Amino acid sequence: MDAFSAFVPFLLLFGFSLLGVALGTVTGLVPGFHPNNVAFILLSVSPVILERLRFLTALVPSETLLVLVAATVVAASVAHTFLNFIPAAFVGAPEGETALALLPAHRMLLEGRAYEATVLSATGSFWSVVFSFLLLVPFYFLFSSLNFYETVQSRMLYILVGISALFILTESFSERWEAHWAVLLASAVFLLSGLFGCVVLRMPVPVSPFPLFSSLRSTLLFPALTGLFGLSAVLFSLLYTPEIPEQETEEPAVERDSRTDRTDRTDRTNRTNRTEERAELVKSAVSGSAFGTLVSFLPGITSAHATVFAMLARRNRQPEQVITTLSGVNTANAIFCLATLFLISRPRSGATIAISQLLPLPLQHWETAVPPLALLYLLTAVLVASLCSFFITKSAGKQFARAFVKIPYRKMLVGIAVFLFLLVFFFTGVLGLLVLLVGTCIGLVPIYLGVRRSNCMGVILLNVILFYMYFYM
């Protein structure tokens, strides 16, 4: 009985992690769901969840139950970073002249290679987990022994302004505009979304219009991010629906076992090229993991910023490498944000904000090379979610590619838009719908102008910069 009792927390951890994977799979397959929104929703319903799970305190302490719910949030966030590539690849591809501003995944979609893009994304995320875990201990020593964060904190304003300026300047590589026009337009989008964020973050906390759920915690960042990055892309796709070719569903060359070529001894060139492609993908995953650390401790900096800088460092802008790097950054961010929370007690993502509010305070600080027990639980949830999500992403991507040409595309987009409207209204009411509409209008601006939509992250970043300006004054 004692041996069984010792295994109960781990069995529950595995079960809660699988629950998080299921939730992250569902939210990841819904276009327009920003990763932070997943955490905000789970945080909103956490009081109800904890009340329903009170009976488990007979098996584990209440503090462990809080960690298990936090593990669900972590697993959902990690699964979301794997699965959300599928709707991002299949929804939102423009047509005509606007195709000059295509995202790499959309280029591959219009070439009939969306499944290959999905496999590359899953591979990048999976390898990123491996390399991120290898980097965790060096990351700990960097923060704990070298006073690294204290040095960064004292110069945070200049670092954030410098990164923002450099990110905007990279728009000068635009294929649609001359360099000075691209930089000017990107700056305008950044400032416009930043002003929008200034207003939203100073508005009253929204309340659900349904009395039964009025106690749920929410934030207006949910409809703001949904409008900027989700509904805007869906509406644009409704207005400019491209001709989508039939998608290839056979395994990409980089995934095939080289043993299948051994019957043909003359095919050594293909095997060599495949080895080189795999090496490039590993390099992209490594660079994504390394630059993903930036997102974890710099406030307001997103995976898009880290991806652009990683691609500049590698000087390889092929769509395959961009996809692998971006997926690697996204997943590494989820892992290192956890480490940052336990190292400096500052949440840098929606998931860690939720975790910091779920776990009993003060958090156990990471003071030795061995992480604290709560962090080990959460990292285990990351491993479970990553392994499951890798195979789920490949399977779902193949099924989606097969069925995509048979799906009534416009009806699907209308259904997604209605779902997003209802979800925002459910959690934030009429005020949230107003924020959603304004955010959608702003989110359409970079799509029409042909600059990166990630400039809209000024909604958070500009506010962080203004905070540090006030702090230093």
Q: What is the DSSP string of 312-380?
A: HHHT---HHHHHHHHHHHHHHHHHHHHHHHHHHS---SHHHHHHHHHSPSSPPP--SSSPPHHHHHHHH
Q: In terms of pLDDT, which residue wins out, 241 or 394?
A: 394
| 8 Å CB contact between 338 and 354 | no
Nearest to 297 by CA among 338, 328, 326: 338
pLDDT digits (tens, 9 = 90+) for 80-139: 989 988 887 877 554 433 333 357 887 888 888 889 999 999 999 999 999 999 999 888
Angle at 32 between CA 385 and CA 298, to 5 degrees: 65
pLDDT band at 327 (very low <50, low <70, confident <90, very high): confident
Instruction: Tell me how far CA of residue 290 lies from CA of 91, 124, 130, 138, 348, in angstroms.
Output: 29, 13, 12, 12, 17
Phi, psi of 61 (to 5 degrees): -60, 155
- Find the mean pLDDT for residues 333-354: 85
Position 114 scores a pLDDT of 87
Asked if residue 420 has pLDDT above 80, the reply is yes
3-state helix, strand, coil in the chain (%, to 5): 80, 0, 20
181 contacts: CB under 8 Å, gap ≥ 6: none
Phi, psi of 451 (to 5 degrees): -115, 170
Angle at 236 between CA 232 and CA 241, to 5 degrees: 150
The pLDDT > 70 percentage for the chain reads: 85
- The top-scoring range by mean pLDDT among 49-53, 359-363, 434-438 is 434-438
pLDDT digits (tens, 9 = 90+) for 21-45: 998 998 888 776 666 667 777 777 7
State how far the Cα of 223 lies from the Cα of 437, in Å rounded to an integer. 9
Asked if residue 275 has pLDDT above 90, the reply is no
Q: What DSSP string runs through 68-88? A: HHHHHHHHHHHHHHHHTHHHH
Nearest to 127 by CA among 260, 303, 280: 280
- Find the mean pLDDT for residues 404-412: 81
Nearest to 458 by CA among 107, 186, 95: 186
Position 290 scores a pLDDT of 87
Give Cα 462 distance to the centre of its chain.
Answer: 20
Query: What is the three-class DSSP state of 167?
Result: helix
Position 96 scores a pLDDT of 36
**Domain limits of the chain?**
2-472
- Angle between the N-to-C axes of helices 62-83 and 350-358, in degrees from 0 to 180, rounded to the nearest 10: 170
Position 34 scores a pLDDT of 62
